[in-house]
Structure 1
């Protein structure tokens, strides 16, 4: 742990503007992760749960700085569980930071649970005198709980906790924290269509964040100001605020805030009738959103796998230690044969029980992971098709806009390029087919059994028919004309040997 700390201070020390996901820092991160894993293994050898807890806790903080949310949650949760198991009085910030991590990975109930523990912990021991500014952690705890309730659409509870956070921030004259809480309240008011008040709160968050040099939070506030102004009909003001958000994000990068800003810019340009720009920001949003959503889903699966691997390592080490103790006992103490036989039988029985228990836990874990993968596949394929539909609509709007005027040759070339764009490449098809197989695992096998000589093009047409896309959406997705779609569907009917009165869609939906 000491070696890891020295390496971190030397190569990746604290700098709030530093992007710790940069490629140059990847070798440093990997070296630190190896050191933390070695430290955790050494701690398990001691069988001292307090020591194991502290290694987990400090490892979590460093992994969070490198954007490794899954590992940070795993280490933090393991540490807190071990501390609570031995009744070690945890300091309030430990609970608060774990609650904030769980909010990031969308575990809202758990986030609320640990946020409340963070608040309650201040009353157990006299921690007030041990911190220079304990109010900051109290504001963060209330803010985390309020934000989690907001994500669950429980707005009354959210406002209640956010108001408590706001009161503490105001009492301590902390403009930075006050602005952040006001921004969260503004997001709830925005959802409730109270756009004027929401915009005013976002403006205050922006001003206070700039004063606090929190450029990433100021960027987020600016893009929310743009959303509110767009809802109020102030399109040009909204455009200026969204551009300000992009400017700040170039100084202090944040993937989630950049994604939200792209979406806001897409909406603004669409309202302004700038369909070229709307199409551009739509693509940027889709690309970044897919990456971030995949990261969250992967983090959730990685958390489970990492915790499982950690527990397996602990079990193996404990088993080795117990075996050493047994050998020492046998070497130093020669007991009667009947007692030795009894101990052997007892060990076999216990090992069988443990083996059955581990097999059951493994089966349950695999079932849970499979369900998560299926759900993730459904969400990704729905996102995939909805993006295709949105692109198709944008192309149609652009055609209407240009066809209503005397179209220049340049506009005609743009329309032709968009209309002929092959959106689904071979790689895209393999990705789509992988997701499709998770949702409808026996679809293609049944299809080939019915028509053994079916072609790849006909399989694609059958799959797109199964998810109920229109002919125009299929054409845009495959990069072909609507007429070609009809011809392929006709060949599919012939391949399946259907009569003219057989409904192809109904048949495929039943596969």
Structure 2
């Protein structure tokens, strides 16, 4: 696939920048603002750019001014107290990036886009575009976000950052489509070519077809001298994508359409260049004579158009065809001339292919040393290119993820705003009609709240009464047991030292049995205890998971501050057994010797 010629790309970028923001064509308008930082701060803080505050007019003025004055102005503009909001930040970063690019990083400054001197400029521009994207997302304007995505991708592409260019160009186009903003056919076609370069062939085909279809919806603002050339390029992109997918029949079909469109419009240059792509398919089918003729046509018209990198590519394909036909000397001459042309217009992809062809030619000539030399060069540059493609794929995935997160956040915000706007408009339209209903609803809500509050208060009182009743019952229960225990103790004291009759001993035994806390008594006791101390047993089990029921009873009676004798009477065991049970409880709770069991239980 042919790369867009530089002069066309620069013209296209300028047209796009002007059309998206309705740039002024009237020279006197920008002079109203001149280079006054505060005035520009006010203008760039507006959400909608006008003819007066267009970025183009500001950038044009700054490009014409010396660098010292430019940066002094930009510093004053950035720190102006009248600079407010994310729209200002977005537009400011884009203007600054445009000026830096034009003054220090254009093709007229560096023809070799891989120059090390360009690296710090590229990094500064990428930081500015990243800041502009961040600010654009915060404006929540999909049109502005789309523009920043697309335009920044165009600039960074000139530095060879294909991953950035592909993902953000696609984001911009997709956002424009989402808001029904008309996308120009060349935009689709340029994106399709980028996607083809990173081997996203299916998407490349999709966007190229969109570019062709976009011409069916004419727009008065679209003014292209030879629009058919973009369709030639689109058909060529589709054909090349099918070629790399090894679908030669489909590839040939679209490439022939591109060739036919070029010849019908008497564009011999475009037709010649397409012929080279058709030649590759013919070559793959082993028709080397016909392929060689097509490659020669491609070479001649590429040279005529001064596209030396494309001419070099055509030459290395001529070398392949000549080698297949047994013309080894011609193949060697073609390959060497391709290297010379690539020194004039570097292309690492075409250089890799030329190295490989040279290794094949020298191998056929029996020159093993030269064959190994160029094969090593081929492997080195091929590994580098494959690594870049793999890295680009990863960067595209990361960029896509980040973009999707940002888009999701914007969609969520916009949906919320639309919902709020709908509710507000409905209320404004029906405020008089529904005022009474709203009043009744409010009163009804207040009544419900009042009833709910009264119900809660009533339930609170009932709960307090229930707790109080439980306290009284458990106190009565405990007092009753204590009273019976005291009575038995008195009887035992009176009979102490005398021989009790069988009837007296039976009465004492029956009274003792009535004081024992039976299983049913324990359940009733526990029910009342839980109402007074709702989480006592839960906390007790949490402190000691394997605590026994008997130990729980001792703990509960201890919480009621009963004496050991009273506990013994209630449980039907001896006082000594109570002491042992308390010791086991201390051990179960893992209390140290200095900790008072009664105080610990009271704190639960």
Structure 1 residues 127, 273: CA separation in 2 closer, same or farther (over 3 Å shift)?
farther
Match of 2:214 among 121, 131, 135: 121
Counterpart in the other structure of 2:336: 243
Counterpart in the other structure of 2:254: 161
Which consecutive unaligned segments of at least 5 residues does structure 2 have? Answer: 1-93, 419-441, 450-604
Structure 1 residues 139, 47: CA separation in 2 closer, same or farther (over 3 Å shift)?
same
Q: Distance in 1 between matches of 2:109 and 2:332?
A: 28
Structure 1 residues 316, 160: CA separation in 2 closer, same or farther (over 3 Å shift)?
closer
Q: Distance in 2 between matches of 1:128 and 1:150?
A: 35
Q: Distance in 1 between matches of 2:137 and 2:243?
A: 39
Superposition pairs of residues 84-233 of structure 1, within 5 angstroms:
84-126=177-219, 130-233=223-326
Bigger shift: residues 264-273 or 163-172: 163-172
Structure 1 residues 297, 127: CA separation in 2 closer, same or farther (over 3 Å shift)?
farther
**Conservation of the 8 A alpha-carbon contact between 2:171 and 2:403:** no
Counterpart in the other structure of 2:466: none
Q: Distance in 1 between matches of 2:324 and 2:283?
A: 9
Structure 2 residue matching 1:132: 3-state secondary structure: coil
Across the two proteins, how many residue pairs are aligned to each other? Answer: 332
Structure 1 residues 249, 192: CA separation in 2 closer, same or farther (over 3 Å shift)?
same
Structure 1 residues 90, 317: CA separation in 2 closer, same or farther (over 3 Å shift)?
closer
**Conservation of the 8 A alpha-carbon contact between 2:184 and 2:222:** no
Matched, 1:43 2:136: yes
**Conservation of the 8 A alpha-carbon contact between 1:223 and 1:261:** yes
Counterpart in the other structure of 1:361: none
**Conservation of the 8 A alpha-carbon contact between 1:186 and 1:198:** yes
**C-alpha offsets along residues 387-413 of structure 1, whole Å, 9 cap, x if unaligned?**
xxxxxxxxxxxxxxxxxxxxxxxxxxx
**C-alpha offsets along residues 152-188 of structure 1, whole Å, 9 cap, x if unaligned?**
1222221121111112222333333222200000000
Superposition pairs of residues 334-373 of structure 1, within 5 angstroms:
none
Structure 1 residues 124, 316: CA separation in 2 closer, same or farther (over 3 Å shift)?
closer
Q: Distance in 1 between matches of 2:265 and 2:286?
A: 31
**Conservation of the 8 A alpha-carbon contact between 2:235 and 2:255:** yes
**Conservation of the 8 A alpha-carbon contact between 1:182 and 1:204:** yes
Counterpart in the other structure of 1:300: 393
Which consecutive unaligned segments of at least 5 residues does structure 1 have? Answer: 326-334, 340-511
Q: Distance in 2 between matches of 1:188 and 1:104?
A: 18
Bigger shift: residues 123-132 or 57-66: 123-132
Counterpart in the other structure of 1:264: 357
Structure 1 residues 90, 321: CA separation in 2 closer, same or farther (over 3 Å shift)?
closer
Q: Distance in 2 between matches of 1:174 and 1:248?
A: 24
**C-alpha offsets along residues 12-71 of structure 1, whole Å, 9 cap, x if unaligned?**
223498121211101111111111111111111111111111111111111111110000
Structure 1 residues 317, 157: CA separation in 2 closer, same or farther (over 3 Å shift)?
closer
Structure 1 residues 17, 11: CA separation in 2 closer, same or farther (over 3 Å shift)?
closer
Structure 1 residues 163, 318: CA separation in 2 closer, same or farther (over 3 Å shift)?
closer
Bigger shift: residues 220-229 or 170-179: 170-179
Structure 1 residues 323, 163: CA separation in 2 closer, same or farther (over 3 Å shift)?
closer
Deviation at 1:283, TM superposition (A): 0.6
Which has more radius of gyration? 2
Tell me: higher relative CO, structure 1 or 2? Use CA pairs within 8 A at least 6 residues apart.
1
Structure 1 residues 202, 102: CA separation in 2 closer, same or farther (over 3 Å shift)?
same
Q: Distance in 2 between matches of 1:94 and 1:227?
A: 35
Q: Distance in 1 between matches of 2:190 and 2:410?
A: 30
Structure 1 residues 123, 314: CA separation in 2 closer, same or farther (over 3 Å shift)?
closer
Match of 1:8 among 66, 77, 101: 101
TM-score under structure 2 length normalisation:
0.52
Bigger shift: residues 33-42 or 166-175: 166-175
Structure 1 residues 265, 127: CA separation in 2 closer, same or farther (over 3 Å shift)?
farther
TM-score under structure 1 length normalisation:
0.61
Structure 2 residue matching 1:130: 3-state secondary structure: coil
Structure 1 residue matching 2:225: 3-state secondary structure: coil
**Conservation of the 8 A alpha-carbon contact between 2:137 and 2:410:** yes
